[in-house]
Amino acid sequence: VELIVGQPYRNMLAFASTRSYFFLGDSLRKLSVSRIAGFHKTAWLRSRSEGESGPLTLSSLGLKCEVDSRKKDNFVDLGSLNSATKISSGRVKAVRNSLSKAVGTKNTLKIDEALFSAKTFGELGLSPLLIDRLEKEGLTVPTDVQSAAIPTILQKHDVVVQSYTGSGKTLAYLLPILSEVGPLKKPVDGNLSDLKPGIEAVIIAPSRELGMQIVREVEKLLGPADKKLVQQLVGGANRSRQEEALKKNKPAIIVGTPGRIAEVSAAGKLRTHGCRFLVLDEVDQLLSFNYREDMHRILEHVGRRSSAKPTDILGPLARRSERQTILVSATVPFSVIRAARSWGRDPLLVRAKSVGPLDSISVPQPTSFASSSDVTSSSGSTTQGVADSLPPALKHYYCVSKVQHKVDMLRRCVHALNAKTVIAFMNHTKPLKDVVFKLEARGMKAAELHGDLGKLARSTTLKKFKDGELRVLVTNELSARGLDVPECDLVVNLDLPTDSIHYAHRAGRTGRLGRKGSVVTICEEPEVFVVKKLRRQLGVDVQQCDLTEGKLNVCKEEEVEKLAEAMRNTS
């Protein structure tokens, strides 16, 4: 079945989540060579060679419409499933109300509500109880990716959900699950209390902070009386307490990190064979080497085995399980597509305005560059065409600086853009402290955030940053995915990201929900070619700028070469 969402309106941007994470803990567990070797025979092995492939990403909004209309012959209008409605002034008002309710008074950056989908949650086939809950939470209008994903998941398809950062992917998979599982599910023959015992959904996230964020979203929807029906199994927390809670609360939904879930499962304390849903959030991250053994176990144990026999070629992971497999990320390299084909049954690719078979996707050619030796690509591959994973409202700049002036450049950049909430990325942990020291010395409130800090220090720093007590958060790659601070209006790359995927996730920390945001990459002169390469891969205009007289000035094309020449002469 090939479908296209009949939405006449432009893409949406969802709310700010508080997804933040660091890759300490259970991802760093030792791997068994023999397990990995066996594992390599499966889809994982194939994912290794994915440097030869590119990501399948969202088109920018304007381009998207073109792509959709070109592919129209191959797609069916989702509007036939859900009568498309026009956004009336009343609808816009409802969205505005919904947003202001949900955003609260703290957020000052403007959200473009016109980018929200025209549909209401009520039109998507969700359970009435769930719709009531959503309304109570001030959520009435689904984002485009939710409009596309919810009916598709409810129709029991395996899916890969892809849309740009901050576009509401979490609810896009949580809502159809909660519509089928737990106390908010659709009544069966009018019987609301038809609750099945046992775990019905397992959601995996690559870090404990991200896992906890998802838990909080589920708890919010379940309400205080039923919040124990979701159980976290994240690393860094007391395992025996988690196991006790499992026994006592008999949760329907498990959210956790690969290491901890695999551990508890291996200890025989987690019964997931009756599980109906398996979600891998930030799936391309979960395909990385560190998670292989744990993910292998999870894929093997979640969901009842169907009678289908494994094929010799694909190995045990190819065995079809009766669970529904949902893979989610803003960036979907070919490794994800391959994994989806191996683990799912005729999976569909769900994007903001379209739903189609994975086979309908053409795979871009490989591109790759490495600028840092100890930062690995999330998927083990670099890819091209990730522009569709970037929030469309973002503005991208780069400026050239000598390495010793970078922090000063960052400070000037913050002032020039009058940025209030800034995330500065570096590739390594060690220099973060020095940057903080220099910023503080110049009167700019800053703090470092990385996985080597203790749990308490991390949460305190993050809270301070979210509360506006810090202006600049200096962090490393580990914060690039999931960290959600809606007020973040500037991302600065003090070191070049490893590849376009890393750029996209770093950049995605700002400009969430259609808010304004800028990304400034500060690079040395010899690195300019890398930025230009990134610019090509991203398909966005990364303009060269300089910072003089307290202003960010975009360099005119003819001046760019002169500046480069001047830099070469002074060095």
Ligand X SMILES: Nc1ncnc2c1ncn2[C@@H]1O[C@H](COP(=O)(O)OP(=O)(O)OP(=O)(O)O)[C@@H](O)[C@H]1O
Residues near ligand X (CB under 6 A) are: 14-17, 19, 102, 139, 141-143, 146, 165-171, 330, 482, 484, 508
When the beta carbons of 120 and 537 are compared against ligand X, the nearer one is: 120
- Contact, 470 vs 445, CB < 8 A? yes
Angle among Cα 174, 179, 183 to the nearest 5 degrees reads: 105
Q: CB of 173: closest distance to ligand X in angstroms?
A: 9
Instruction: Output the CA torsion sign for 155, 161, 134, 225.
Output: positive
User: Where does residue 25 fall: left (phi above 0), alpha (psi -120 to 50 degrees), or beta otherwise?
Assistant: left
Q: How far is the CB of 203 from ligand X (least distance, A)?
A: 12
Identify which of residues 256 and 482 has a Cβ nearer to ligand X in the complex.
482
Kindly state the smallest distance separating residue 205's Cβ from ligand X, in Å: 10
What is the smallest separation between the CB atom of 379 and ligand X, expressed in angstroms?
A: 15
> SS3 of 215, please?
helix
* Residue nearest to ligand X as judged by C-beta position: 15
Beta bridge partners of 191: 188
Stated as kind and residue range, the H or E segment containing 266 is: helix 258-266
Kindly tell me which of 205 and 547 has the beta carbon lying closer to ligand X: 205
Q: DSSP string of 242-291?
A: HHHHHHHH--SEEEE-HHHHHHHHHTT----TT--EEEEETHHHHTSGGG
Of 149, 150, 84, the residue nearest 118 (C-alpha):
84
Q: Which is nearer to ligand X, 131 or 552 (CB)?
A: 131
Number of helices (H), then strands (E), in the chain = 19, 18
Give CA angle at 312 (263, 273), nearest 5°.
35
268: alpha, beta or left, given left = phi > 0 and alpha = psi -120 to 50?
left
CB of 75 to ligand X, least distance (A): 23
423 forms bridges with which residues in the sheet?
A: 473, 491
Q: Is the dihedral of CA 7, 11, 15, 20 positive or negative?
A: positive
Minimum gap (Å) between residue 110 Cβ and ligand X: 15
Q: What are phi and psi of 298, to 5 degrees?
A: -60, -45
Please, what is the minimum distance in Å from the beta carbon of residue 38 to ligand X? 32
For ligand X, the closer of residues 44 and 173 by Cβ is 173
520: helix, coil or strand? Answer: strand
To ligand X, the closest distance from the beta carbon of 139 in angstroms equals 5
Nearest approach in angstroms of CB 131 to ligand X is 12
Where do the H-state alpha helices sit in 370-470?
Answer: 406-416, 430-441, 455-466
Amino acid letter at 94?
A: A
| Range list of H helices, 368-516 | 406-416, 430-441, 455-466, 500-507
CB of 442 to ligand X, least distance (A): 31
Of 165 and 475, CB closest to ligand X: 165
Nearer to ligand X, 145 or 523 (CB): 145
Q: Tokens representing 556?
A: 């005119």
Residue number, 144 or 263, with CB nearest to ligand X: 144
How distant, in Å, are the alpha carbons of 16, 73, 285, 315 from that of 213?
11, 40, 17, 34
State the minimum distance, in angstroms, from the CB of residue 407 to ligand X: 27
Residues 296, 321: contact at Cβ < 8 Å?
Answer: no
46 contacts 380 by C-beta, under 8 angstroms: no
Closer to ligand X at the Cβ: 166 or 344? Answer: 166
Identify which of residues 53 and 165 has a Cβ nearer to ligand X in the complex: 165
Q: Could you tell me the smallest distance in angstroms from the CB atom of residue 486 to ligand X?
A: 8
Q: Which of 227, 224, 282, 235 is nearest to 253 (CA)?
A: 227
Alpha helices in 141-231 (DSSP H): 144-154, 169-178, 208-222
Indicate the residue among 25 and 168 with the shorter CB distance to ligand X. Answer: 168
Judged by CB, which is closer to ligand X: 117, or 342?
A: 117
